[in-house]
Amino acid sequence: MAHSIAKATLGLTRPNQIDHPNISIAAKEIDLLEWKGDILAVGATEVDMIKDENSNFKNLILQKLDSQLGGLLSEASSEEDFTGKAGRSTVLRLPNLNLKKVCLIGLGSATSATTAYHSLGEAVAAAAKSAQASNVAIILASSAELSTESKLNVASAIATGSVLGTYEDNRFKSESKRGTLKFVDILGLGTGPEIEKKLKNAEDVCSGIIFGKELVNAPANVLTPGVLAEEAKRIASEHSDVLSATILDVEQCKELKMGSYLGVAAASANPPHFIHLCYRPPGGEVKTKLALVGKGLTFDSGGYNIKTGPGCSIEHMKFDMGGSAAVLGAAKALGQIKPTGVEVHFIVAACENMISGTGMRPGDIVTASNGKTIEVNNTDAEGRLTLADALVYACNQGLEKIIDLATLTRACVVALGPSIAGVFTPSDDLANEVLAASEVSGEKLWRMPLEESYWEFMKSGVADMVNTGSRQGGSITAALFLKQFVDEKVQWMHIDMSGPVRNNKKKTATGFAQLDQLHLCSYESSHSGSIEASLENIRNGPVQFRPELTELLRQNRHDLNPRFTNAATFFLRFRHISVTFAVFVFLWIAAYFFFITSITENTALQVTISPNTTPNGNLLNSKQHCIHGLRQDLHVDRILFRGRSLIPVSCEVVNDNVDGLCPNSSRYPIFAEFMLPRAVRLIEPPAQD
């Protein structure tokens, strides 16, 4: 059964110019040379491209395909010096066969279950566009090595990348070329109801992301607060079985004493609209209630502190509602996917920040709906004023978790660049859940500190607070401001997505943050346990342990030396298990090694944290021992130090030979970017024997 991305007409623009992808995506099992179409795309890692001494591929799929093509694949890869590096590709033309071209696409140094495969789908879409192809097939050279669960997630990522890579927003162009890609066949990852469901979910996710992109891309003269509210109501009406909509007008907002939000909206000729969508799961059973709050400034002039001068980017201020677009796009996707067990509230305080005689002035004092007063020392710090009342409103819904998404500060872009969003939260559990979701989605998040001492910068002489602090630490003080409007009993997170909301090269919206929200909602819909249960189920890497090794590790997971249990704890997360090892506190300056008591006497795996990258020169070393006699390469999936990592480090895994220390054992790196906390994952698999 194939799934098609249906065309959906947005009310905010001319229907005849909407060009949504209409692609049929199907999972098939068929001999490669029997497949008929334009392009057969083969995703290959650097390891897949390794050849033996006779220049033959070691990888079985590449070996078979090369044999069927009479060695042409090996010859072409050698001539083009194609080694499987990410971003590289090579094309082999086959005019006399059922398929016209074979395209090798590099996946780099092996892969997490999302990012590389999403990029593979996008690369195939680009190749199809260049060749004006309508029918493509995609296969992974390493597909036979994937677990069943990983195959499902890989298929979903490829499908999502293919659709989003095909989409172009041509609504406002007088002429546009429509994409030719119509059929995408995913080969070698299985068939049946499970993968069909994954592909259907990918269709729904893409629908939500495209909807969100079109909201952000629409100019402010088209997408007003009123139009945004109408789009929200339309989403709810299309999925009325699970979604309901409440739109508050100015008078209703006044009744709720939303003085902070209304102060921002006061100058605009377009009245504000406070949007509240609620997703209630089919069946009615609710395990978790959470809110997704999006900043909804459909245009931001800066107010009386108007944006002026080079680099002010006032022409890009239609992007200032990127948080609300992500939230409403996620609502659309959830309305189609219909997960059970989770109730989600989507909240947007939509308005414009303009200049007029009725507008808010620098020095004005406004009162938020929780009674706190704010001295407005900068009218261009308006987003936090609208979010203040939105967060109070969300807390009044009786929720357990609240996540706000906002293009809030330029300071966050300065700190993290254009591709990474900053995460601020006092909750380690919520941080771990969302950061784990980001690794599945491939969207880049980085946890930032909530330095309470910086609140000194936000104090006012005449009100409870000002709305901006000093130039230093601007993204932190903005998050501390928002924290004043959240109930302490609620787990809260602020995501500053100012950088990744826009693709500066393509000059269009990215659809950032929707995948993170959907992965988090997916987890919440099926789990109510601890964060460790969360990480175990939300992370879906391609590696899976042999059952006998998993069981032995589980049986011995509590055999720890009691002297070390109060020192430090690392969670070395293997596939489907969580093993806790106590380690000794590392000494100041001295290069002192400490180790965990082994469950056998044979060292199989050593995780080394290099002293060269630590700011104070400390050396931290730990050894994890494995079971003698089982030939099993261990893959470290996650390291946490008491729920967080305190220093930037680099790691590498050595001595993976279970027979003990071996000078010739393979050595391969682990990705290790740490920041309160970060995850550790392999970027290169062990070399083949």
Residues annotated catalytic, as ranges: 307, 384
User: Do 247 and 273 touch, CB atoms closer than 8 A?
Assistant: yes
656, two tokens: 């993976």
Element (H, E) at 335: helix 322-337
Amino acid letter at 187?
A: L
Distances in Å between the Cα of 551 and the Cα atoms of 546, 635, 685 are 9, 16, 23
Whose structure tokens read 């998993």? 550
CA dihedral of 407, 331, 403, 245, whole degrees rounded to 10: 100
The DSSP symbol for 584 reads P
User: Do 597 and 559 touch, CB atoms closer than 8 A?
Assistant: yes
CA neighbours closer than 13 Å in the CB half-sphere of residue 650 = 9
Q: Look at residue 166 and give its three-state secondary structure.
A: helix
Report the distance separating Cα 215 and Cα 238, nearest Å. 17
Q: Please, what is the Cα angle at 15 between 204 and 245, to 5 degrees? A: 55
User: Do 503 and 509 touch, CB atoms closer than 8 A?
Assistant: yes
* SS (HEC) of 253-292: HHHCCCHHHHHHHCCCCCCCEEEEEEECCCCCCEEEEEEE
CA 26 to chain centre: 25
615, two tokens: 């700011």
Neighbours of 603 (CB within 10 A): 21
Distances in Å between the Cα of 148 and the Cα atoms of 155, 542, 546 are 11, 9, 14
Report the distance separating Cα 139 and Cα 104, nearest Å. 10
Burial 402-411 (b: 16+ CB within 10 A, else e): bbbbbbbbbb
Report the distance separating Cα 245 and Cα 233, nearest Å. 6
The DSSP symbol for 641 reads B
Q: Look at residue 304 and give its three-state secondary structure.
A: coil
